[in-house]
Amino acid sequence: MSFVGKVWKILVGIKDGLVLLFMLLFFVTLFAILSARPNPGQVRDGALLIELDGVVVEEKSVLDPIEALLSGTAPMSEYRSRDIVRALDAAATDKRIKAVVLDLTTFLGGGQVHLTEIGEAMERVRKAKKPVLTYAMGYADDHMLLAAHASEVWLDPQGLAVISGPGGSNLYFAGLLEKLSINARVYRVGEFKSAVEPYSRSSMSDEARQNIGGLYGALWEEYKAKIIKARPKLALARITSDPVAWIEGSGGDLAKAALDAGMVDKLGDRTQFGARVAELAGKDPWSKKPGAFAASDMGAFLADIGQKTPGKKIGVVTIAGEIIDGDAGPGVAGGRRIADLLDEALDDDLAALVVRVDSPGGSATASEEIRRAIQRHRDRKVPVAVSFANVAASGGYWVAMSSDRIFAEPETITGSIGVFAVVPTFEDAAARVGVTADGYRTTPLSGQPDIIGGFTPAIESLLQSSISGTYTDFLSLVSKSRRMPVDRVDAIAQGRVWDGGTARQNGLVDEFGGLDAALGWAAGKAGLKDGGWHAVFLGDSPENYDSLIRQLVSSRAPAATAPTSDLFAMTAQQREHLGTRIARDAQRLLGTRGIQAFCAECPVSAALPAPRNERTANSLSLLAWLAGG
């Protein structure tokens, strides 16, 4: 055989081997995808198992598969509140479901409104004469908002349960910036707009303390009222007024203290808990593992029950997370992306539109872009209702100004009508290392803005005027939408943050109710009867490879541990939160941002992680040009 013939046979062999390899990879991948997706055939008689190993959100963020695979870690799991509520309501009437189990071992929390909605759905399951059980290594404030509605609350004997209430400390960087000779130039309108205080002060101002104190107080009262109503035997006052005496009364045994105070009903490990569920829902016929019980996963159950789509369509657009310019999201409210969804829906013959908001705000220009897109539906005589979830503040309130009616819950955080911007300059820092700036100007604005040479009075005035003008626009929008005189709006604005109850009293909200109430009102306004409509969530899409990527990553990463397994684990976790907070605050100072209608002081937004860096469009505001320059 010639040399060329031998080479040709080798090349053909390599080609055939690669084809076989790629075919094998294709079928393995196909099998993995089909296995990862919820399978309705997996639903069986027994318990509905809801494993909340992450956070409850309004809208799930997109998982970047390349980033996850390269880093070997996936972002924390997210569960939509409406999915959990839908599963619970279906379980209440499904004859296959004998009990509901919520595994809260690695639950990381959620907003007060979302958890209240889930708790109410748990009550509906119990009214259907079906037991609801929870299990965890530790219960904290958010866990208890759910567990209080359970018929049996189980705690591991090595675990703990505590209720600490809202509040805590903020970080203030004025002293550090002074030592670094960084000049944080603050531009704001709103006496109570305290989002800029971390960069200009070393402590909380009296105005901010007054405002946040009132908000925390209202949220805490709502929390206590709902917990006591759901669990009357809970000794909440003893737990929160003197926690040291409460623990010492049980000899330092944290689990026994929780049992004695009525926070939990049973102490037992996972095997004992599983045996109890098996008594109620049946044993797992396919497993001999101790503590196994017959159960259906929530994902498979939701896939099995499907969605009913009778009658006409009512569109629901979700504005969740920080509002930023560009196409970012879901999980982050990219102004252009959401405006495009709304504009595409103009051709969908929607009977009505509901805007669901769970956002602390953000870019003023992006907020206005979304509001204008909503207004285009109103211009077509489409009824528009707005439903506030946990937080709809600043830009999150701005987007609601093109609506016919606003719904909120007593625990909703809203208002924060005010705007700000922070721009760092480095003239003093440069001078310390021997760098100075000089030149020739033809006008007061020549060469401005100059972050090394410093700002002239003219650019300072221009920047503040830009902020003042945006605030005036905000007031005008609220005045027109809420039918209030501008001076009345200004009196309740100034950056103040309100709870939903107070917001309803001062006219910022029309009535109490969640998403279902807003949908019902919109349907009635459109002349639709019950059963004659269904909700369509704009931009909602299947998870695609999300489950598969998480499975691949989790198989390579160490198993997650319960965040509240003991007090030392909780303390260690706070170190991780501290790093996130510092990085978020630094990004807010140094990142490219325009005029902000953002509620950085809102408790909910402060608890959320900062969004991952997204490629955003250039803002049209002067402040964005400045930061970008």
Domain ranges for the chain: 1-31, 37-163+231-305, 169-203+310-434+441-541+591-629
490: part of which helix (H) or strand (E)? helix 486-492
List, in order, residues 6 or more apart from 224 with CB less than 8 Å away.
236
| pLDDT of amino acid 559 | 43
* Marked catalytic residue, from 61, 81, 359, 394: 394
- Whether 394 is catalytic is yes
- Whether 203 is catalytic is no
Average pLDDT over residues 47-60: 94
Residue 509: closest CA among 378, 596, 417, 608: 417
Provide the pLDDT confidence category of residue 343 given band limits of 50, 70 and 90: very high
How confident is the model over 536-569, as pLDDT tens digits? 999 887 655 566 555 555 554 444 444 445 655 6
Q: Are 148 and 227 in contact (CB under 8 A)?
A: yes
| pLDDT of amino acid 2 | 65
Residue 109 bridge partners (DSSP): 55
Average pLDDT over residues 65-94: 83
Cα 61 from chain centre: 9
Cα 180 from chain centre: 34
Residue 394: closest CA among 115, 601, 232: 601
44/96 Cα distance (integer angstroms): 6
- Domains 37-163+231-305 and 169-203+310-434+441-541+591-629 belong to one CATH topology: yes
By three-state DSSP, how is residue 12 classified? helix
| Distance (Å) of CA 586 to CA 428, 580, 610 | 19, 10, 11
Q: Is the pLDDT of residue 375 over 80?
A: yes
439/447 Cα distance (integer angstroms): 9
What is the fold, at CATH topology level, of the domain defined by 37-163+231-305?
2-enoyl-CoA Hydratase; Chain A, domain 1 (3.90.226)
Count of beta carbons in the 10 Å neighbourhood of residue 62 = 17
Residue 72: closest CA among 610, 552, 613, 611: 552
224/237 Cα distance (integer angstroms): 9
Maximum mean pLDDT: which of 22-26, 61-65, 338-342, 466-470:
338-342
Q: What is the mean pLDDT of the chain?
A: 85
H-only helix segments in 94-205? 112-127, 141-147, 174-179, 197-200
| pLDDT of amino acid 621 | 45
Q: Are 73 and 553 in contact (CB under 8 A)?
A: yes
Q: Is the pLDDT of residue 94 over 90?
A: yes
Average pLDDT over residues 213-223: 94
Q: Are 394 and 360 in contact (CB under 8 A)?
A: yes
Q: Is the pLDDT of residue 512 over 50?
A: yes
Name the more confident of 80 and 8.
80
What is the fold, at CATH topology level, of the domain defined by 169-203+310-434+441-541+591-629?
2-enoyl-CoA Hydratase; Chain A, domain 1 (3.90.226)
Phi-psi map region of 415: left, alpha, beta (phi>0 left; psi -120 to 50 alpha) = left
Maximum mean pLDDT: which of 84-98, 186-200, 413-427, 527-541:
84-98
* Marked catalytic residue, from 60, 98, 193, 226: 193
Q: Tokens 């002293």, residue?
A: 175
For the chain, percent of residues with pLDDT exceeding 70: 81
| pLDDT of amino acid 308 | 81
Residue 496: closest CA among 201, 99, 215: 215
Task: Please report the DSSP string for 454-484 in residue order.
Answer: ---HHHHHHHHHHHHHHHHHHHHHHHHHHT-
Average pLDDT over residues 38-52: 81
Provide the pLDDT confidence category of residue 4 given band limits of 50, 70 and 90: low
| pLDDT of amino acid 422 | 87
Residue 204: closest CA among 168, 172, 167, 182: 172
H-only helix segments in 231-297? 236-241, 243-248, 254-260, 270-281
Residue 318 bridge partners (DSSP): 356
Q: Are strands 596-598 and 333-334 parallel, antiparallel or unpaired?
A: unpaired
- Per the omega criterion (within 30 degrees of 0), is the bond before 40 cis? no
Task: Among 371-375, 521-525, 576-580, name the one with the lowest average pLDDT.
Answer: 576-580
How confident is the model over 272-289, as pLDDT tens digits? 999 999 999 999 988 889
